[in-house]
């Protein structure tokens, strides 16, 4: 219930052009509940949206240490690096986010027996034919 309430307050502060209030709101909340990763990510997002890239990077890098498998952390780090013009690191972070979020996983269907596999395989597990799996139009 905390995050939706904070999001509403954030909208009000944003409409009133009070960015320092938005930052104080999330900083205070994340200090009170330091184990809530969503609050910390929200603080990083606010910094990012306000173009405070150093602060955003700092928050997301600390969050990455605590939760290295969280795709949103890598997506935001990629965006920070991209805005800084560091394309190589940005792509690395985006790639990490997509892999962790299973963005490359796509179901495949065997064109011979119509068996479905969660990802591409060289051989159908049902009919055992080679190279018959094709991307399924339905994800």
Do 86 and 45 belong to one domain? Answer: yes
Do 66 and 9 belong to one domain? Answer: yes
Residue 139 has pLDDT above 60, yes or no: no
Do 7 and 65 belong to one domain? Answer: yes
Do 115 and 72 belong to one domain? Answer: no
Query: Is the full-model pTM beyond 0.75?
Result: no
Residue count of the chain, please give it: 139
Indicate the number of domains in the chain.
2
For the chain, strand residue ranges (E) read 108-110, 116-117, 133-135
Least confident of 21-30, 95-104, 115-124: 95-104
Could you tell me the CATH number of the domain that includes residue 15? 1.25.40.10
pLDDT over 70 for what percent of the chain? Answer: 96
Output the pLDDT for position 7.
Answer: 84
Do 84 and 40 belong to one domain? Answer: yes
Do 86 and 121 belong to one domain? Answer: no
Output the pLDDT for position 104.
Answer: 66
Cα torsion through 35, 37, 41, 44, rounded to 10? 20
pLDDT in tens, 5-57: 888 888 888 889 988 988 998 899 999 999 999 999 999 999 999 999 999 99
Q: 110 falls in which pLDDT band (50, 70, 90)?
A: very high
Residue 46 lies in domain: 2-100
């Amino acid at each position: 219930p905390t995050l939706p309430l904070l999001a509403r307050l954030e909208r009000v502060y944003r409409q009133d052009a009070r960015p320092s209030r938005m930052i104080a709101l999330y900083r205070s909340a994340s200090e009170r509940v330091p184990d809530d990763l969503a609050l910390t990510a929200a603080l990083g997002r606010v910094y990012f949206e306000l173009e405070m890239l150093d602060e955003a990077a700092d928050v997301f890098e600390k969050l990455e240490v605590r939760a290295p498998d969280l795709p949103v952390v890598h997506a935001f780090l990629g965006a920070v690096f991209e805005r800084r013009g560091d394309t190589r690191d940005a792509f690395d972070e985006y790639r990490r986010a997509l892999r962790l979020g299973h963005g490359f996983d796509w179901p495949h269907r065997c064109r011979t027996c119509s068996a479905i596999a969660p990802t591409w395989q060289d051989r159908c597990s049902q009919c055992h034919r080679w190279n018959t799996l094709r991307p399924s139009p339905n994800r």
